[in-house]
Structure 1
């Protein structure tokens, strides 16, 4: 093993699913001492600033004909499939389910690589759908999976610091101890990995105005009898209805897709609309005892709600940003590589491991270039 003095010191900004996964990937590679700096970590009270906890979340790629994005999503699925295997290291974070997707716009989702994939015959489609498919996927229990990632990172020797970074230069000059102790650490940072989600809009040294929020509202109901997922989508028009069960017995009902909508709380009328759409798509969300006697109603589902909320998906015009910039180091230090990994929109979980692999590759190439110069 390399001595601690030989380890490259890397700071990751952001502790959402993308920041955590990227930090794990780099730390486990070996040769790095990784510190995550973030305002919010898994286990903290839910906040609108921490979108990852509000995600559905299931692995259903929307990459379609985007070959690069599809490769990222497929790598992520392979990792999650292995993690979710019976007896696997993170089985408790996932639920393998039969998923049914109905499409209102006739596009090809390009998901024929998913386990048990089948195209649905026309006579089995719901009203208005032009196409559909079924396959097996993994649903992620976000309040369980995010602490798993954090614990995995810490167990491999990673460290965390709670702090609010206003400008990248603060990290480069002051190191992580600036946020830990309020003073600069004389030991320089070798690289910075930028995974701030929506914070990329305002983070000094980045300030990417192509990043914008896509508001997603959900209702979480207690319905442990639901063990399959269903989605009805017309993404071109922003219509998106989904029922996503979790291993815990909670079921996520959604959703909405509202660009540049900054309202930070659940709207009651939107919750009602979500329930109506989900009930029409998946009547089985009503308790079996009620359905045995009569048709379920919106109020029957509303009675199951344990939580309502919303999150701001960190969308970016042009898709995920995965590249490198060189920025001035502290006094007496050469330039430092800044690796970007943000702009995942609603696909943070689906693309987390694949984009982390690219970020690691960019980091290693940049550091190799620096050592040669």
Structure 2
């Protein structure tokens, strides 16, 4: 039984991984829609660590916890291969911060502690430190791709979809996983009006002396410094959170602002000369009310098909994507069990 998984790399590969690791699919082609170019950019610039900023609903809290456990295992067992590593992290807020989410995550974050008021910088009202998981996004996606292809025999194809129904290109396809990110706002058959872009811009710099994460969250800005694992000293400096802005261009004025803010936030950034390697802009696939993980029954050419939506993670694709994939696959457990005996198990 083929399952078709069109869409965004982070959630898409997560869904494929969950299917193949459970031995429930052997052929899972993937497709790319009109917004693919913008979403590839996200792989290069995205905030690649688990943080406390995004998503405070019950779903997001659950997905974050599963993501932390999953990335922890990768960091412990195959850190270099998967480009995931433990990194000390500090997060600061100009207000009281998302206390409910912080309380929830404090139950499992390694070495979590609340910073004393005396140690906070001017203008900062609250801060915490903990051990986070940082991910070299482009290399981690390559790792997942090659593991799925080489170890599990997953086949990937690139297609342009006219509608979500066209993902069911085989009579034997019973399940479509919709992981199309921002395209879910316009793709016929989905066209979710709750989808919107959140623009960001970052700098990729050479700064091997920077070894820790630090983030500061303000009312109208977000500043962060994130070392990139396995990159010989490259660091991500950011950033911006521009809700509803769909412009993928980069701007010199924003680059200057990022450099100024990160130097003020992290003295290590200006201790030695920092070489700016590139500027990236990308669009986070946001959604009002949070990410959508939901099952829907549709008809394609008179045949019943099951469509599982898995999109709208915003800036949390790497920390929530695994949990979203687990729940997406669980939604079709009945179909997978019905057809499991028809799936060749030898290759898995």
| Alignment of structure 1 residues 43-58 onto 2, 5 Å | 47-50=37-40, 51-58=42-49
Q: Secondary structure at the match of 1:75?
A: helix
- Could you list the runs of 5+ residues in structure 2 that have no partner in the other structure? 341-348
* Contact in 2 for aligned 1:84/1:91 (Cα 8 Å): no
Answer yes or no: is 1:330 the counterpart of 2:301.
yes
* Contact in 2 for aligned 1:15/1:37 (Cα 8 Å): no
Q: Secondary structure at the match of 1:319?
A: coil
Which one of the candidate residues 282, 289, 306 is aligned to 1:318?
289
The equivalent of 1:160 in structure 2 is: 156
Deviations 1:85-130 (A, max 9, x none): 1x52655502311101111111223331210011111111111111
Answer yes or no: is 1:257 the counterpart of 2:241.
yes
Answer yes or no: is 1:136 the counterpart of 2:127.
no
The equivalent of 1:273 in structure 2 is: 257
1:281, distance to aligned residue in structure 2 (A): 0.2
| Whole-Å separation in 1 of the counterparts to 2:156 and 2:189 | 22
Instruction: Tell me the TM-score normalised to structure 2 length.
Output: 0.89
- Could you list the runs of 5+ residues in structure 1 that have no partner in the other structure? 1-7, 41-45, 176-186, 289-299
Mean alpha-carbon deviation: is it higher for 270-279 or for 63-72? 63-72
The structure with the largest alpha-carbon Rg is 1
* Contact in 2 for aligned 1:63/1:70 (Cα 8 Å): no
Answer yes or no: is 1:105 the counterpart of 2:130.
no
Between the two structures, name the one with larger relative contact order (CA 8 Å, sep ≥ 6). Answer: 2
The equivalent of 1:24 in structure 2 is: 17
Which one of the candidate residues 71, 80, 94 is aligned to 2:84?
94
| Whole-Å separation in 2 of the counterparts to 1:47 and 1:356 | 23
The equivalent of 1:60 in structure 2 is: 51
* Contact in 2 for aligned 1:72/1:353 (Cα 8 Å): yes
The equivalent of 1:5 in structure 2 is: none
Which one of the candidate residues 189, 203, 207 is aligned to 1:219?
203
Which one of the candidate residues 117, 121, 126 is aligned to 2:116?
121
| Whole-Å separation in 2 of the counterparts to 1:63 and 1:233 | 11
Deviations 1:262-307 (A, max 9, x none): 221111101111111100000211244xxxxxxxxxxx54xx1001
Deviations 1:332-361 (A, max 9, x none): x3x111000000001111101111000010
Which one of the candidate residues 295, 306, 331 is aligned to 1:362?
331
* Contact in 2 for aligned 1:26/1:34 (Cα 8 Å): no
**How many residue pairs were aligned?**
329
| Whole-Å separation in 2 of the counterparts to 1:89 and 1:280 | 31
Instruction: Tell me the TM-score normalised to structure 1 length.
Output: 0.83
Which one of the candidate residues 162, 166, 174 is aligned to 1:170?
166
Q: CA RMSD in A?
A: 2.1
Answer yes or no: is 1:239 the counterpart of 2:221.
yes
The equivalent of 2:146 in structure 1 is: 151
Deviations 1:134-172 (A, max 9, x none): 110111101210101111211212110011112122122
The equivalent of 2:344 in structure 1 is: none
